[in-house]
Amino acid sequence: MLNGGEVVVETMLSRGVEHVYFVAGGTYVTILEALSRHQNEIRAVPTRLEQSAVFAAEVSGAIQRKPACVFVSRAPGAANAALGVHTAMQASRPLVLFIANIPRAQKGREAFQEIDYLGMYGPIAKAVFDVASFNELADVTARALDLSVSGRPGPVVVALAKDILDGDTGTPVIPKPAPPVMLGAEPAAIATAVTLIQGAAHPIILAGETIAFEDAYTELQSLAAATGAGVITAYRQQDVFPNDHEAYCGQLTLNRLPYQREAWEACDLVINIGCRLDSATSSDYTLIRDDQKMIMAYPDAAVFSQWQADVAMGANAKSAMTALTEALANFTPSIERLAWRDAIHAEEAAFAEPGEITVQGDVDLAQVITTFQRLVPDDAILSCDAGTFGRWLHRYYRCNAPVSSFGPVSGAMGYGVPGAIGAACADPKRPVFAWVGDGGFLMTGQEAATIVQEQLAVTIIVCDNAGWGSILVGQQKRFENWDFGTRLVSPDFAKLADGYGMAAFTVDKTADFELALQGAMDHSGPALIHLKLDLRDVSPYAGSAR
């Protein structure tokens, strides 16, 4: 006979769930007790904040391409988790958030810590379930786990009443895992797309988020070769295509470089594979011009309501790219098309070379990143927080390994350190680095305690410029020589790391970084490097901000 908590854990085991992130709550002790008996199968990681737990699960699920799970208590815990759920939805990442809810008899009376989770999470999650009885517990849990990876992946929320978890016992039948829904492109759509590709002068492949989830890296490179098109990745998806590949034309970050604007102006055909064209990628929905043709393949029909594609394929990235590549088997890209693509790549590579930006401070972040690139393995995993420091990484760091770069597509700060926790748990054989600003670290940097407790080999690199960089630039663009509320007084991050029990290094000059990084990498446990930056060096785009 199983109690409610045991049913949930047994259902997770049936789906191969390997990682759980949580902040312990008294409302789901039966789940915690069941997890304690399955530590060889499911690693349960206690974070200090629910938001951190969801960020960690988001990265964990992305690396393993299956859902990680999060457990939180009712209203306070559930509210703290909301930012992570929103981020996972915008990034199309699979996870399941379980909320231990108030007893059923108290619902609808504004009971202690009561929230309507459908109303709260409905707009920002893929689905929200409220379990009504012990008898449906296994079915709903199984459906949530399966749904999170089916079609467009995303976060699913399940509210579990405390009396269901603590009360009845039984022997429910756990449904067998449902195969994910896989959508293929229609032959007629492929034929039309091939005609457009063959007739285009300057096609560009826009590579989006579902390529990573479907492990379709090889198919993307094959399509690039078959079409002769350049490849531009969506915002924060730079690791879906090797950055040193001859077809790579950069990432659509918040700042568009001159060569990208020129390339897009010349582009007459966009081959959009797996990108929902979010506002960051599409430059606030202005990217696609009326005179451009667009082929679009995406596994969620709702996304097509926002765009007028000339060929709209409700299809998975892998199946669409395979069909297109096979249909182009007898096509040879023109010399002119390849020369145009190669010229764009050459300009992109040139912009990734440090030296163009003259820094005001003693630490040149471009040179730091070049040193970092030289010393770390190609398959190192980077968890990059939101903040202007990340624009230096986007410009100068070359991602040449799949599943190697993570960041909040939603722009949520506080992602970097928790994301590194999820990465280190999901793939412990690869080195993991959390890149985070001083502001972001002071939001969720307390998870350094989790890193130490769980003995994770994570190196945190704090980029400290003593300010909210992008906001400061925005203020001074609007009101010259004025700022308000954007200067930060922070602690000594190296001393703080030492207090957590981490190896700590401070970098005051560019030349000091190599020794600090080598020391952190040689250390067998977690480490932190405090980079002291100058706020005048806020961006590698001549001070521009969006």
Question: For the chain, which domains are there?
Answer: 4-166 (3.40.50.970), 187-351 (3.40.50.1220), 365-537 (3.40.50.970)
Residues of the chain whose pLDDT is less than 50? 543-546
In which residue are the tokens 């990034």 written? 91
Q: How far apart are CA 546 and CA 534, in angstroms?
A: 20
Of 408, 379, 495, 529, nearest in space to 92 by CA? 408
Query: Residue 11 class from Cβ within 10 Å (0-12 exposed, 13-18 middle, 19+ buried)?
Result: buried
Q: How far apart are CA 235 and CA 546, in angstroms?
A: 14
Non-local CB neighbours of 522 within 8 Å, separated by 6+ positions: none
Residue 468 token pair: 């909210």
What pTM did the predictor assign?
0.95
Beta-sheet strand order (sheet of 155-161): 43-46, 19-22, 68-73, 95-101, 155-161, 127-130
Give the max Cα distance, the chain: 72
Residue 531's DSSP bridge partners are 463, 507
Could you count the other beta carbons within 10 Å of the beta carbon of residue 294? Answer: 20
Specify the amino acid at residue 330. N
Query: Residue 171 class from Cβ within 10 Å (0-12 exposed, 13-18 middle, 19+ buried)?
Result: exposed
Q: How far apart are CA 237 and CA 207, in angstroms?
A: 8
Cα 252 to Cα 59, 272, 370, 497, distances in angstroms: 21, 13, 21, 34
In which residue are the tokens 């709209």 written? 312
